Structure 1
Amino acid sequence: MAISHREENFVVIELGSYATKATIDTTDINRLPTAVIRTRAGILKQDVGALPVSSDPEIVEKQNGTHINVVSDEGEAPDANVKAEEVGEEDIDTNGEQDGSELSYIFGGALEAAEEDTVSHTVDIISGGFVRDWDAMSAFLRHVITKELGVRISSNISPILFSVPPLWPKTDLESLTQIAFEDLNAPSILIVEQPLLAMYGNNAATGLVVDFGHTTTTVTAILDSSIQWSCIAQSEIAGAAVTERLHQLLKEDAALCAEFGNDGVPMEFAVALKESGLCKIQLLSADDDDDSDDGKDSEGQPELLFQGKKYKVKADALDKAARILITPDDGKNVGIASLMKQVVLGCETEKRAGLWESIHVVGGSSRFGGLKDCLQLELERSVLPSSNIYANSQSREIKFGSLPDYFAGWRGRDYLAGFLGACIVAKIALNDSKHNISRSEYNDSGPSVVHTKSFF
């Protein structure tokens, strides 16, 4: 007989290249994610990371009143108190081996606050849509579960829904399944692809999902709740590329460089500027000239407060940096409209019009002002027929999906449609044995059981 779990114990984790979002308790899905943490791990230097780790999950004796969480070899996460004044009052997870010694990881606020001489290096756990370090991923997920969501691993009664990028290979899905049951002690899990969840969040079953992420932009076609695996395309032009382009444009601004002095414009300034909301894409008419704004005077220029000082930047640079998401200027990558056409043309002819009339733009890098309007203009120019004579397979208009109005708590946050969809699916599927993977099924079949269960 299937075990029934309470919705207040349901956990949803969306794994992203830049940030991972998580929540516990799906009773009220009008709530935003309770935890948003950078998907990055800091590896402590060996002299700092030599923490007492025991195979027996015991409480380590208090030393100096500084609390640090130490994970045992079995993946247990007992409370521990050890001396680590250099790191601060944050959790350290240990996992993996390097030259025969345990690695010590720190995440989130602890990593941001750590002194440079205490951290050996940092690891972007997910890059290009794929996991680059599974030991770091295991420690990261334990941190999210125990410290961000407050779940005790030794007595875990929280089923977990994982939202993952669509192109993960089978081996990666098996590795995540193994971590969930062996390191997180989950009673049951479900793994669902992010484009499908974004569709559900927007109350749709057929459409084109454009996910503007941190390191990749992914376009996925979905027909009747089924991902068209042969119709997925990716581009490297994403949020990180916008930051790099903006930094390049800022370094070409002589007046701004003079304000920063000999060191030049730091990358941190470009990051702060991109995240400030000042980067917007201006709609250009056919008669507009991209270079016509280069000579703008300083009056009306955007300002950013950075490290206690206000800096003026050219609006033209802000526009050009964000615009590469629509029309890359490197000559190597195709524009997003061409990428979407490539995906749609891979689908059945009679289904193509429905895809153009149900476009769902999600992802953290989709929040640039004017991006959706600019994308619609590009698609109308390149997709819609120039005459009033339509073939049956041709689209008559370009339509974008959005979050339903009855989700008041998510209003104005279309970029989070995937996480809302994950919460909805969690309520439906985490107690349904037809969809979720139970511990007993994992014990019988091993990690490969993940390929036998899905939610459609």
Structure 2
Amino acid sequence: MSREARTVIISHGSHTIRAGLGIHEVLRQPTVNLTARVGLRRSQLEGGENVKPADYLVGAILDEALRTQTAEDPVTVSWPMIGGEIRDWGGMAALWYHVLFFLLPVIRSSNSSVTLLSLPPTTITRSSSARIHKIFFDEFNTPAFCLVDSALASSFAVGQMMGTVVDVGARGSTVACVMDALMVPQSIKRCEVGLGECTAYLAGQLGRDAKVVEALSGVQEDEEAMASTSSAPSSRQSRLLLALARELFAQGHVVADEASAAAGGSGAGASGDQAAEDDDGNFDVLGALTSGREKEAIAEQERRNKELVAQGKEPEPMQTAGDMAGQTISSAAALTAENGDDGGEDDDATIRVPFKGRNIRVPRSALSTALTPLVDPSVLSKVAASTDLLDLLTPLGSSSSSSQRTDWSSTPSLPAAIHASISTTLDVERRNGLWEHLIVTGAPVGLVKGLTPSLVAALQRYVAAASAAANGAQGAGGPAGPAGGDDDGDDGPTGTYTPNTAQSGKLAPGQPSNVRALRTPDYFSDFKERVDLAPFLGATIYAKLVFADNQARGYVSKAGYAERGPAGAWSVMASDK
């Protein structure tokens, strides 16, 4: 088996780990998707330092343990990496151990799989690099190992050696610039708003709708969720609202703006021939009748009767289209009434969403504004003050609630973090390239339609204000006034760079003239329109290039590790890879 076929790719984020074995001719999506949390039973915790990576509960084993835990021996869940910071090295080793030896066909005693690990740029330091190399060589018997930051991997995924990588995470977002195939350390900026905060904001908006709250009052909670928090009524309602908000994100109902919501926010609907078949491929009589295709419904009934005659059975009596319509619509009405819904169609104001056995009407306005915290974190102040939604988001095992530490009224927005990251580039003439090579990745990119275009639109405020000033705009309102700012006369975002050449009529060096987001090339067929998988795709490309060098200039071999030790891994600079 070739080295490429034996290569292990691991893309490790704060919330999710994606992994795969082998670099194929047609690059493939990850075969492993694992939630990056671990668990220990109370009996194991009492063992203290004797806990080994194999003792941790991970993945499906952890899920089963949570369902069957007892009061005498409960399971404690923790997240080894929170906010791009490693807090539990034992848990990290347990996650990697589970991926390599449980989810991938790697044998520890005869490990011949070279491994590439991609981590958030905030986690890679000299000390952490040495510790990671020690774990993989000493504990996992890895023959060769390469460590790369996810920002650089994402830039490889879109075929660029420079760009601004925006990783919208589960809790918070990270921005980092890549120049000349090197991540710029001083450019790392963090926004405290991520998918979790947007979910809490959406849940808060849903909680203001009396009909939604009333519909949730009859929903039964999962036993695991009930056991994880208090049984107070407010907590129960908050848990259900959060669960509904997560379901709305997962089903693709959340959109980045009202235009997208009007176009398709209610989810992908079936039409044409597909509307007449259910999920199992059976003919849907109700779908055919309600779409005006009565002849097809009657033809289907005749086909069924022929099959019955061929089997020696009595055929069913023929019915008219009106009879079938009355029966099927009555059955549908009874079903929707049983599920707690009035059975009406979706309208311009609401959509129906299946949730825990019921159909709940959700206002479209809440769906179209769910991402507001990304561009205006101050809206979370009211959520934090009036509900416990943000507290329920806090990962188990963290020392304190992030919502209590954060002053949302002064928290920088994601566009502001992008602007601040690019502004750290000393070579001002190259900043334009960073604005025009925006790489937006993270789980929300794959869940929310229009997230990237809406973020680019939000960044236009910086570009328009700076360009107007550089061209000597003299209109009322200054750089953000009628000559080049927002229509509402807003003063523009705080920290907008204003050049000293306002009278020259030309853009100053480094002034942004355009913002453009990149995507993965179409020739990566498995990754088409999947920028959320850019870190894994880029890590695969990076591994193909690095491990092809037999001189080990871009990675650490077992012989090199034995000669130089863990600290010697830091001497393998990224510029040599």
For 2:512, the aligned partner's letter is S
Q: 1:381 aligns with which of 461, 464, 478?
A: 461
Q: Which residue of 2 aligns with 1:204?
A: 160
Offset of 1:29 from its aligned partner?
A: 4.6
> Secondary structure at 2:105's aligned position in 1?
coil
- Residues 196 and 97 (structure 1), Cα distance of their counterparts in 2 relative to 1, 3 Å cut: farther
Q: Residue 145 of structure 1 contacts residue 151 of structure 1 at CA under 8 Å; is this kept in 2?
A: yes
Q: Determine if the alignment matches structure 1 residue 335 to structure 2 residue 285.
A: no
Offset of 1:275 from its aligned partner?
A: 1.9
Q: Determine if the alignment matches structure 1 residue 320 to structure 2 residue 365.
A: no
Q: Residue 283 of structure 1 contacts residue 370 of structure 1 at CA under 8 Å; is this kept in 2?
A: no
Q: 2:33 aligns with which of 19, 32, 36?
A: 36
For 2:462, the aligned partner's letter is S
Q: TM-score, normalised by structure 1?
A: 0.81
Offset of 1:116 from its aligned partner?
A: 4.8
Q: Which residue of 1 aligns with 2:450?
A: 370
Q: Determine if the alignment matches structure 1 residue 264 to structure 2 residue 234.
A: no
1:219-234 equivalence runs, <5 A = 219-234=175-190
Work out the CA distance in 1 between the residues paired with 2:131 and 2:56: 19
CA-to-aligned-CA distance 1:147-197 (integer Å, 9 cap, x gap)? 111101110000100001101232222221111111211001000010001
Q: Which residue of 2 aligns with 1:443?
A: 562
Q: 1:188 aligns with which of 137, 141, 144?
A: 144
Structure 2 segments unaligned to the other structure (5+ residues): 218-232, 260-344, 380-407, 472-504
Q: Which residue of 1 aligns with 2:533?
A: 416
Offset of 1:227 from its aligned partner?
A: 1.5
Offset of 1:97 from its aligned partner?
A: 4.3
For 2:445, the aligned partner's letter is S
Work out the CA distance in 2 between the residues paired with 1:37 and 1:96: 27
1:139-158 equivalence runs, <5 A = 139-158=94-113
Q: Residue 115 of structure 2 contacts residue 146 of structure 2 at CA under 8 Å; is this kept in 1?
A: yes
For 1:299, the aligned partner's letter is D
Q: Residue 96 of structure 1 contacts residue 102 of structure 1 at CA under 8 Å; is this kept in 2?
A: no
Q: Determine if the alignment matches structure 1 residue 110 to structure 2 residue 61.
A: yes
For 2:563, the aligned partner's letter is D
Q: 2:524 aligns with which of 384, 407, 410?
A: 407
- Residues 28 and 34 (structure 1), Cα distance of their counterparts in 2 relative to 1, 3 Å cut: farther
CA-to-aligned-CA distance 1:389-429 (integer Å, 9 cap, x gap)? 43343232211111112111111101111111100111111
Q: Residue 5 of structure 1 contacts residue 431 of structure 1 at CA under 8 Å; is this kept in 2?
A: no
Q: Residue 129 of structure 1 contacts residue 215 of structure 1 at CA under 8 Å; is this kept in 2?
A: no
For 1:279, the aligned partner's letter is V
- Residues 312 and 113 (structure 1), Cα distance of their counterparts in 2 relative to 1, 3 Å cut: farther
Q: Which residue of 2 aligns with 1:18?
A: 15
Q: Residue 96 of structure 1 contacts residue 135 of structure 1 at CA under 8 Å; is this kept in 2?
A: no
Q: Residue 192 of structure 1 contacts residue 454 of structure 1 at CA under 8 Å; is this kept in 2?
A: no
For 1:326, the aligned partner's letter is V
> Secondary structure at 2:374's aligned position in 1?
coil
* Bigger strand share: 1
Q: Which residue of 2 aligns with 1:72?
A: none
- Residues 5 and 172 (structure 1), Cα distance of their counterparts in 2 relative to 1, 3 Å cut: farther
- Residues 196 and 100 (structure 1), Cα distance of their counterparts in 2 relative to 1, 3 Å cut: closer
> Secondary structure at 1:393's aligned position in 2?
coil
Q: Which residue of 1 aligns with 2:572?
A: 453
1:97-176 equivalence runs, <5 A = 97-98=47-48, 104-114=55-65, 115-118=67-70, 119-168=74-123, 169-176=125-132
- Residues 96 and 216 (structure 1), Cα distance of their counterparts in 2 relative to 1, 3 Å cut: farther
> Secondary structure at 1:154's aligned position in 2?
coil
> Secondary structure at 1:230's aligned position in 2?
helix
- Residues 210 and 100 (structure 1), Cα distance of their counterparts in 2 relative to 1, 3 Å cut: closer
For 1:105, the aligned partner's letter is Y
Q: TM-score, normalised by structure 2?
A: 0.65
> Secondary structure at 2:186's aligned position in 1?
strand
Q: Determine if the alignment matches structure 1 residue 178 to structure 2 residue 257.
A: no
Work out the CA distance in 2 between the residues paired with 1:116 and 1:325: 38
Q: Which residue of 2 aligns with 1:276?
A: 251
- Residues 45 and 404 (structure 1), Cα distance of their counterparts in 2 relative to 1, 3 Å cut: same
* Bigger helix share: 2
Work out the CA distance in 1 between the residues paired with 2:417 and 2:49: 44
Equivalent pairs counted in the alignment come to 394
> Secondary structure at 1:264's aligned position in 2?
helix
Work out the CA distance in 1 between the residues paired with 2:50 and 2:119: 32
Q: Which residue of 1 aligns with 2:424?
A: 346
Q: Residue 168 of structure 2 contacts residue 195 of structure 2 at CA under 8 Å; is this kept in 1?
A: yes
Offset of 1:100 from its aligned partner?
A: 6.0
- Residues 101 and 219 (structure 1), Cα distance of their counterparts in 2 relative to 1, 3 Å cut: closer
Work out the CA distance in 2 between the residues paired with 1:183 and 1:96: 23
- Residues 318 and 32 (structure 1), Cα distance of their counterparts in 2 relative to 1, 3 Å cut: same
Give the percent of matched residue pairs that are identical in Structure 1 and Structure 2. Answer: 26
Work out the CA distance in 2 between the residues paired with 1:106 and 1:446: 30
Offset of 1:282 from its aligned partner?
A: 0.7
1:295-314 equivalence runs, <5 A = 299-300=347-348, 301-314=350-363
Q: Which moved more, 1:100-109 or 1:444-453?
A: 100-109
Q: Residue 463 of structure 2 contacts residue 513 of structure 2 at CA under 8 Å; is this kept in 1?
A: no
Offset of 1:318 from its aligned partner?
A: 2.1
Work out the CA distance in 1 between the residues paired with 2:194 and 2:439: 16
Q: Residue 29 of structure 1 contacts residue 423 of structure 1 at CA under 8 Å; is this kept in 2?
A: no
- Residues 124 and 167 (structure 1), Cα distance of their counterparts in 2 relative to 1, 3 Å cut: same
Offset of 1:231 from its aligned partner?
A: 1.4
Q: Determine if the alignment matches structure 1 residue 8 to structure 2 residue 5.
A: yes
Structure 1 segments unaligned to the other structure (5+ residues): 50-94, 285-296
Offset of 1:112 from its aligned partner?
A: 2.2
Q: Which residue of 1 aligns with 2:320?
A: none
For 1:273, the aligned partner's letter is L
Q: Which moved more, 1:112-121 or 1:97-106?
A: 97-106
Q: Which moved more, 1:128-137 or 1:253-262?
A: 253-262
Offset of 1:142 from its aligned partner?
A: 0.9
- Residues 96 and 193 (structure 1), Cα distance of their counterparts in 2 relative to 1, 3 Å cut: farther
For 2:82, the aligned partner's letter is S
Offset of 1:44 from its aligned partner?
A: 2.5
> Secondary structure at 2:461's aligned position in 1?
helix
Offset of 1:281 from its aligned partner?
A: 1.5
Which is greater in Rg? 2
Offset of 1:20 from its aligned partner?
A: 0.1
